[in-house]
Amino acid sequence: MTAALRAEICRVGASLYQRGYVHATAGNISVRTETGFLITPTDACLGQLEPARLAEIDANGAQTGGDRASKTLALHQSIYAADPLARCVIHTHSTHLVALTLAGVWSVDDILPPITPYFVMKVGHVPLIPYHRPGDPAVGDAVSRRIAAMRDAGTPNEQIRTSVASLRQRLLDSIPETPLSVLVDHIDHIAKVAGVDHVGIGSDFDGVTALPIGMEDVTMLPRIAQHLIDRGYSDTDIKKILGGNMLRVLETAIDPTERKRR
């Protein structure tokens, strides 16, 4: 397991370097392991990492192997402590982010405005953390507090899901209970407009949250036939509506050679 993680850190580091997202010895990568952490060494070039030289840290923060760990280890540990689900931290010292902070961010809570809905859903809020010298424990505390605050507020996706779920429930609550007779009204209307030869019904009860009263499951389908009888439909027309029309269309759609085979 550790060997695979070491190889993946080196692969990601090389990819970031080759694409120009990191330069010289800037940036570092860490991953959470079963016994602690792996992190890139101090002053290491992410484009030239060697799996065996990655620093290995135990759960207490003591280094147990590899080259001397990056001085940002404390920051990474703070992130892992603040978010138990975090498995990896990639710290790039992004040139564009440095330039943005020097030029002035949109706000301390969102360094960029909500440019597009997709940006809001996929990136979400990106807050500004005040500058501290590398390795300063204070930056870890600041990041931890920000993670906790954003977790309490919920991610944009969680906020959207909550809002949609609430709206959906309000809409469902506003739908009046519908008797089976209204369903048959629809069948009746289609038969009158398009003709009884063009009416078909299905029996898929999956994925619905509301059903007509008296049509809660497939065992109640015969009640449709009774309603049609009560409305004066002939046995022939009822058979068409309950499946005959569907079978006719399917039979027509099947290749003639297939029909011969059957």
pLDDT, one tens digit per residue, over 139-175 is 999 999 998 888 887 655 566 566 556 666 777 777 7
Q: What confidence category does residue 260 fall into, taking pLDDT thresholds of 50, 70 and 90?
A: low
Over residues 188-215, mean pLDDT:
85
Domain containing residue 155: CATH number: 3.40.225.10
Residue bearing tokens 């992130």: 79
Residue 221 is predicted with a pLDDT of: 87
- Is residue 66 domain-resident? yes
Known catalytic membership, residue 17: no
3-state helix, strand, coil in the chain (%, to 5): 55, 10, 40
Are residue 242 and residue 213 in the same domain, yes or no? yes
Over residues 18-22, mean pLDDT:
93
Are residue 190 and residue 143 in the same domain, yes or no? no
Residue 165 is predicted with a pLDDT of: 65
CA atoms of 45 and 262, how far apart (whole Å): 69
Residue 28 near residue 40, CB atoms below 8 Å: yes
CA atoms of 177 and 205, how far apart (whole Å): 17
Are residue 194 and residue 142 in the same domain, yes or no? no
Name the maximum alpha-carbon separation found in the chain: 88
Average pLDDT, the chain: 87
Per DSSP (E only), the strands in the chain are 28-32, 36-39, 55-58, 63-65, 88-91
Which one of 17, 21, 80, 118 is the catalytic residue? Answer: 118
The answer on pLDDT for 259 being more than 60 is no
Are residue 140 and residue 229 in the same domain, yes or no? no
Residue 175 is predicted with a pLDDT of: 76
What is the C-alpha radius of gyration for the chain, rounded to an integer number of angstroms?
A: 32
Q: List C-alpha distances in Å: 126 to 72, 111, 156.
A: 20, 6, 11
Q: How many domains does the chain have?
A: 2
- Is residue 122 domain-resident? no
Q: Whole-model pTM?
A: 0.58
Query: Containing H/E element for 158?
Result: helix 156-174
Domain containing residue 209 = 180-261
Are residue 57 and residue 140 in the same domain, yes or no? yes
- Is residue 56 domain-resident? yes
Residue bearing tokens 């919920």: 154
Are residue 192 and residue 240 in the same domain, yes or no? yes
- Is residue 123 domain-resident? no
Are residue 133 and residue 226 in the same domain, yes or no? no
Each residue of 94-107: b (16+ CB within 10 Å) or e?
A: eeeeeebeeeebee
The answer on pLDDT for 59 being more than 70 is yes
Residue 228 is predicted with a pLDDT of: 94
- Is residue 99 domain-resident? no
Closest CA to 42 of 59, 54, 31, 51: 54
- Is residue 6 domain-resident? yes
The answer on pLDDT for 33 being more than 70 is yes
- Is residue 241 domain-resident? yes
CA atoms of 257 and 227, how far apart (whole Å): 39
